[in-house]
């Protein structure tokens, strides 16, 4: 009898999972599931405690879902990727595994690990790889010189040309297979700090319901409202996508169900949202084409020679949300308290750290990973490099967001600011973006700090 091993990584779902569907295709084969936690590696790469907790809680659900399909989910914890490979080699011997199925991960170290595994397995064991977490495999959307695009818009256009000709299907959820005698154990706690996360319920039905509701109720206005942080008008699906609780194909499927003709209007909310999913795709493709990005090297080489000021006090004030710029501080407090931040705010606070405080973008990138539930190397690196003008598509280095005008534009009445900065509750709307003027003019006292830098001076120093 054949035995197939399905190795779950960032694809923690049973629906629309090509590796799982294929592993279960042969009705005569028994199927074993595997997840390997690597807390030491996670710590070394600043994965947040929130994300580790979310993975843990999600695995408990996944184990139940697989159990109903008669697929045991085995769990191991390893210190290094080498140990991880050894565990798999041993499991293959123990259970006489014939084939290993998995969905690709694209980060450099993960690809090295898979390469190592293939070299260590006995030649009669086959690894079957799938691109289950993307619409298209990396390095399949190339320019006329057969290279990865350096700019998003032409990548997007080429992507759309291919996509309409070959709209990806949803992979079937497998039917229950024959029961095996393998016993599973409850997923243990990880060797990791504990931290609550918000917004992301690890239950599959809850995740699907959120996607469905977003497509039915919010996506239509997404183009108009997505930049207003107080409105909560984005999908908040990012951690589900980062860890593969949901797939981008499922997103597309629900979107077309609700808005079958969304293609026809590129200005529509639905198309604008789909465009964000293509940004995600772009950054994933980019780290495969330019693996040095995973080592936190800038995309634009010369920017590695920038002399950063790296003032540690400023960095601490930025992290804590005490810079004296209300929109920056509200955003950082949202991140620290919930593990999530609105996209517009991610752009503003990143620009502030790099261009107003002249702090190396990698400090911000690392801090984000240590806080986010949706931390994802490709998207995070792409976002930071975009903001720092060191990456693809970046605005020129001298373009800088003005935190006060950004605040006035995207949070005109300060609703978002007041939600996160109680010290400013009493400040009138007129002064909410510059509360120090209110204190000075009226002799009012707040416990809110003075700006740690003057934006107009910082701008001239660039």
> What residues are labeled active site?
276, 279, 308, 343, 361, 384
Closest separation between CB of residue 279 and ligand FAD, Å? 4
The secondary structure of 253-274 as a DSSP string is: HHHHHH-TTGGG-TTSHHHHHH
> Segment 21-80, which members bind ligand FAD (CB under 6 A)?
none
Is the CB of 252 or the CB of 448 nearer to ligand FAD? 252
| 361-371 vs 343-351: helix crossing angle, rounded to 10 | 140
Question: Could you say whether residue 242 binds ligand FAD (CB under 6 A)?
Answer: yes
For residues 110-129, one letter each, b for 16 or more C-beta atoms within 10 angstroms of the residue's C-beta and e for the rest, the string is bbebbeebeeebeeebeeee
- How many residues sit close enough to ligand FAD to count as binding (CB under 6 A)? 28
Quick check: 283 binds ligand FAD (CB under 6 A)?
A: yes
Of 314 and 344, the one with the shorter C-beta distance to ligand FAD is 344
For residue 157, the minimal CB distance to ligand FAD (Å) is: 18
Nearest to 72 by CA among 80, 81, 61, 63: 63
Number of residue whose CB is nearest ligand FAD: 383
Helices (H), 298-376: 312-320, 326-338, 343-351, 361-371
| Secondary structure (3-state) at 123 | coil
Q: State the minimum distance, in angstroms, from the CB of residue 91 to ligand FAD.
A: 31
Query: Binder to ligand FAD among 14, 49, 85, 237 (CB under 6 A)?
Result: 237
407 contacts 430 by C-beta, under 8 angstroms: no
Residues 352-391 that bind ligand FAD (CB under 6 A): 368, 372, 374-376, 379-380, 382-384, 387
Q: Among 92, 223, 277, 427, which residue sits at the site for ligand FAD (rule: CB under 6 A)? A: 277
CB of 235 to ligand FAD, least distance (A): 3
Nearer to ligand FAD, 44 or 176 (CB): 44
Burial 264-281 (b: 16+ CB within 10 A, else e): eeeebbbbbbbebbbbbb
In 3D space, the residue among 24, 81, 63 whose CA is nearest the CA of residue 182 turns out to be 63
Which residues are bridge partners to 126 per DSSP?
A: 99
State phi, psi for 128 to the nearest 5 degrees: -110, 120
Pick the binder of ligand FAD from 238, 317, 334, 371 (CB under 6 A).
238
Torsion sign over Cα 130, 133, 135, 141: negative
Could you tell me the smallest distance in angstroms from the CB atom of residue 59 to ligand FAD?
20
Among 346, 355, 433, 455, binds ligand FAD (CB under 6 A): 346
Rounded distance, CA 375 to CA 183, Å? 33
| The only residue of 17, 227, 230, 235 in contact with ligand FAD, by rule CB under 6 A | 235
Give the residues lining the site for ligand FAD (CB under 6 A). Answer: 226, 234-238, 241-242, 276-277, 279-280, 283, 343, 346-347, 350, 368, 372, 374-376, 379-380, 382-384, 387
């Amino acid at each position: 009898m054949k035995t197939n091993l399905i190795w779950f990584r960032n694809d923690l779902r049973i629906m629309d999972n090509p590796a799982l569907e294929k592993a279960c295709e042969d009705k005569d084969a028994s199927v074993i599931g595997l997840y390997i936690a690597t807390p030491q590696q996670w710590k070394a790469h600043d994965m947040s405690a929130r994300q580790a907790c979310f993975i843990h809680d999600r695995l408990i659900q996944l184990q139940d879902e697989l159990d109903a399909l008669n697929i045991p989910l085995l769990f191991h914890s390893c210190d290094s990727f080498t140990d991880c490979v050894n565990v798999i080699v041993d499991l293959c011997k123990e259970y006489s595994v014939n084939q290993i199925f998995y969905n690709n991960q694209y980060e450099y170290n993960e690809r090295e690990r898979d390469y190592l595994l293939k070299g260590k397995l006995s030649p009669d064991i086959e690894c079957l790889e799938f691109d289950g977490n993307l619409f298209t495999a990396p390095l399949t959307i190339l320019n006329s010189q057969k290279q990865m695009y350096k700019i998003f818009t032409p990548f997007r256009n080429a992507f759309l040309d291919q996509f309409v000709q070959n709209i990806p299907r949803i992979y079937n959820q497998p039917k229950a297979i024959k029961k095996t005698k393998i016993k599973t154990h409850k997923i243990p706690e990880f060797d990791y700090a504990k931290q609550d996360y918000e917004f992301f319920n690890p239950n599959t039905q809850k995740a699907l319901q959120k996607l469905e509701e977003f497509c039915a109720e919010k996506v239509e206005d997404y183009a108009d409202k997505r930049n207003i942080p107080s409105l909560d008008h984005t999908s908040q699906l990012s951690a589900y996508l980062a860890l593969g609780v949901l797939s981008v194909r499922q997103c597309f499927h629900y979107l077309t169900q609700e808005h079958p003709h969304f293609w026809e209007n590129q200005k529509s909310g639905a198309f604008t949202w789909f465009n964000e999913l293509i940004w995600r795709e772009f950054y994933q493709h980019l780290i495969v084409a330019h693996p040095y990005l995973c080592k936190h090297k800038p995309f634009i080489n010369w920017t590695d020679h920038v002399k950063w000021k790296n003032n540690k006090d400023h960095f601490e004030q930025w992290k804590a949300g005490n810079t004296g710029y209300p929109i920056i501080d509200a955003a950082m407090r949202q991140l620290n308290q919930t593990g999530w931040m609105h996209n517009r705010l991610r752009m503003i606070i990143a620009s502030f750290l790099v261009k107003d405080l002249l702090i190396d973008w990698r400090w911000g990138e690392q801090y984000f990973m240590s806080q986010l539930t949706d931390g994802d190397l490709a998207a995070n690196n792409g976002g930071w490099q975009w903001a720092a003008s060191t990456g693809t598509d970046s605005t020129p280095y001298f373009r800088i967001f003005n935190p006060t005008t950004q605040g006035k534009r995207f949070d005109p009445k300060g609703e978002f600011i007041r939600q996160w900065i109680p010290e400013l509750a009493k400040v009138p709307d007129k002064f909410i973006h510059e509360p120090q003027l209110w204190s000075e003019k009226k002799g009012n006292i707040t416990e809110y700090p003075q700006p740690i830098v003057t934006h107009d001076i910082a701008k001239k120093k660039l």
